[in-house]
Amino acid sequence: MRFVSREATVHAVNGVSFTLARGEVLGILGESGSGKSVTLRALMRLLPPGKTRLSGHVEIAGHDIMAMDGDSLARLRGPTVAMIFQEPMTALDPVFTIGQQIVETIVQHENVSRAEAARRALELLDLVQIPSAKRRFDAYPHQLSGGLRQRAMIAIALSCRPALLLADEPTTALDATVQIQVLLLLRTLQQELGMAMIFVTHDLGVAVEVSHKIAVMYAGRFVESGPVAEVVRRPRHPYTEGLMGSTVHDVPKGTRLNPIPGSPPNLAALPPGCSFAPRCPYVVHRCGESLPELREMEHRGPYPHSTRCIQPEKIGHRGTVTA
């Protein structure tokens, strides 16, 4: 997927491929600008058509997303695939109440009366654990706290019972206590409703809490993927190892963090080899020659563990690296 302008062509997402079964949760982890949110928006074709060039194949619940026209996509969004956006204050319409926005979503996609839609909207507000649901039904977005707005966004996303839920860093703007509450709520709802979910985050701790499998993204590519426990215990890409060394999640107080040096590459001028090579402590000459293929490692869990690194066996043993 590329963004094209007069100044440059930005290769935002490159060669990303995955499958997700009903009831599974895929966590996409990476720094800001790595292509995580763009990947989700591409799945729903929510990117500006004039400047976006999409290629490849996207299928959701048997629907060929790339072949659909605008009307077909509008009917698909909601009942088949829905999205929780990163900042609810900008995603919610400020001139309509929370109840009106949920009701409108239900009426738009299902053949029910507004009275029936209102009844279901109240049930949804209860489902996402919004206290005093009847009072919040008539509230405007600015009258709710950040945590309640995010719960209202979740209610709207769930209003048409989607098969696939896309969550774009839904807890980033929340304080720690509310973040945990929303994460637990999402995990519970996903399990109870049997939805597939793609959860985008830059927080390793969040990814571990909600995901069955994880994909680590760097410079628009998946550089490592596999079962959460296996990837966290035995990372097979230096970027994954770097992310784990940079987090405070599950680390004793006073432990010195090891941040990844340097900056992400310019997506308008990606290097010919591994994009992480300029920041990699294991780099050898071959890393800059050609892009490493995604190769499968040991298959110990329910999902294959793959990495885009030419020497994954060196990860964790910096002193043994040779050119």
Render pLDDT for 8-64 as a digit per residue (tens, 0 to 9): 899 899 989 999 999 999 999 998 889 999 999 999 999 988 889 989 999 999 999
Residue 82, pLDDT score: 94
Residue 318 CB coordination number (10 Å): 11
d(CA 37, CA 41): 6
Radius of gyration of the chain (CA): 21
Quick check: helix, strand or coil at residue 86? Answer: coil
* Pair 174, 150: CB distance under 8 Å: yes
The rounded average pLDDT for each run of 10 residues, N- to C-terminus, in the chain (323 residues) is: 88 91 94 92 90 91 93 92 88 94 94 94 93 94 92 92 92 79 88 93 86 95 94 93 80 77 90 92 92 84 90 69 34
Residue 249, pLDDT score: 64
Residue 295 CB coordination number (10 Å): 12
Residue 251, pLDDT score: 67
CA angle 294–296–299, rounded 5-degree value = 155
Residue 195, pLDDT score: 93
**Edge-to-edge strand order for the sheet containing 2-4?**
9-11, 2-4, 52-53
d(CA 106, CA 79): 9
Residue 176, pLDDT score: 79
* Residues comprising the chain, all counted: 323
Residue 319, pLDDT score: 38
Q: Which of 89, 115, 120 is nearest to 102 (CA)?
A: 120
CATH number for the segment(s) 2-211: 3.40.50.300
What is the reported pTM? 0.90
171-192 pLDDT, tens digit per residue, is 876 787 888 888 888 899 899 8
Domain boundaries, the chain: 2-211, 235-323
* Pair 57, 42: CB distance under 8 Å: no
